[in-house]
Structure formats: structure tokens, C-alpha cells
Chain A
Amino acid sequence: NAGVTQTPKFRVLKTGQSMTLLCAQDMNHEYMYWYRQDPGMGLRLIHYSVGEGTTAKGEVPDGYNVSRLKKQNFLLGLESAAPSQTSVYFCATTDGVRGPRSYEQYFGPGTRLTVT
């Protein structure tokens, strides 16, 4: 039972290059989230999904795209990377069901991305 995994763990890109970050979960959770974490700014929500085939914008969506073609996977894409996208990216999932552990988010280990 791997929980939430992220691929890759580290990546260095040149300005203008593209890449895709993969988040995979085996918890059968409906909701998945992508965040970025920058020093002094906490976690900021980029995009999220409330189910297979759905996506929604978060607080800082510009420059990113996402897709949720399968329930267990949530992809984050950078079409043309910029130095301002240098950050640590976290994926998280939650079951979205009211109960004792309602909306607790389970986080992946993070991906450190550097854009030069």
C-alpha cells in the first residue's frame, strides 16, 4: 500500500521547457490536489479534482494545466516553464466523505523543481 506517490522527486528544467508531474494514489480517494510550496508562503493550491474527468482552478492556476483521466492519477503540466515556477510541488488526496476523518488530506513526498 504505497499511499500517495509523486514522480519525479527532483527535476531541473530550462526556461521554456515543458514537463509533467505525476501523482498516483492507491487509496481510492475521490479528491486530488496539487500545491506549490515556496519559502514564507506556505502551500498554495494550484488545481484540484473532485473526481475522474473533473478539474478546477485553485488559488494560483496560471501557467499550469492538469488532467484526471483515471481516478488514481492526477497530472500537473507545465507547458513553458519559467523561473517563477521553481518550487516544491505537493500532491494530496482526500476521500471527500463526511465522517471521523472528513477531508483529511494525505500528502505525497513532494517534487523539487528548479527552472533555470
Chain B
Amino acid sequence: AQTVTQSQPEMSVQEAETVTLSCTYDTSESDYYLFWYKQPPSRQMILVIRQEAYKQQNATENRFSVNFQKAAKSFSLKISDSQLGDAAMYFCAYRIENNDMRFGAGTRLTVKP
């Protein structure tokens, strides 16, 4: 079975500090894409960052970066200089060759002022 595991149901971080959200996945595919999505209380899903599995370089988007370990099937998200607006549910996801998508159960991030 193809699965995505987010082992941290909840995380909290102090404003301006750094936090890392964990994600592991299980797929037998060699070509796939990985994503982190953010869902604020408004319920709208927003793409945070994406990573192509064939690229060894870790993706970065401003304060967001990933640590992609292909052999370990690990894809963690690091948020630097956390802001109050970062508070949300964060979902890890991957897309495989046949266009199937799998999401993790999510991590609720709280940012303390």
C-alpha cells in the first residue's frame, strides 16, 4: 500500500523560531513528486512547496525549505522565522506516475507570540 505518515499530530513554535515537520512515505515508484500543503482555518488548501524525486537538491521557498532523503523516504518541512500567519494544518502529499495522490493525516502547527 502506498502511504504517507506524519508522526506529529500537533506542533508548536515560538514566533520567530524555527520548526520542522516530519513526513515519511512509502512508494515503490521511482518517479514521483512530493508536496507540502497548508490549510488555515479558512479551509482553503495552499501549496507551500514541492519537490521532484529525481532532483537531489532540496527545494526552498523563502522561509520554507525541505530535507528530502530519498533512500529513507523522508520529506520534512522546515519553517524558519515562524510567523503568526503560519499557524495552520500542514499536509504532506505525493503524486505518483499514474496521477494518483496520497496525503498524510496532517500536523496542526500553533505559533505562540
Contact = CB atoms under 8 A, between A and B. Distances in A.
Interface residues of chain B: helix, strand, loop or mixed (majority): strand
Contacts of B95: 103
Interface string A80-92: 0000000010101
B47 A105 contact: yes
A109 B52 CA distance: 27
Interface residues of B, number: 24
Interface in A83-116: 88, 90, 92, 96, 102-105, 107, 109-110
A44 B103 contact: yes
Contacts of B47: 104-105
A42 B104 contact: yes
Interface string B74-110: 0000000000000000010101001111111110000
Contact of B91 (A42, A59, A92): A42
A88 B102 contact: no
Given A103-B33, A109-B43, A48 B99 contact: yes
Interface of B: 4, 6, 9, 33, 35, 37, 43-45, 47, 50, 52, 91, 93, 95, 98-106
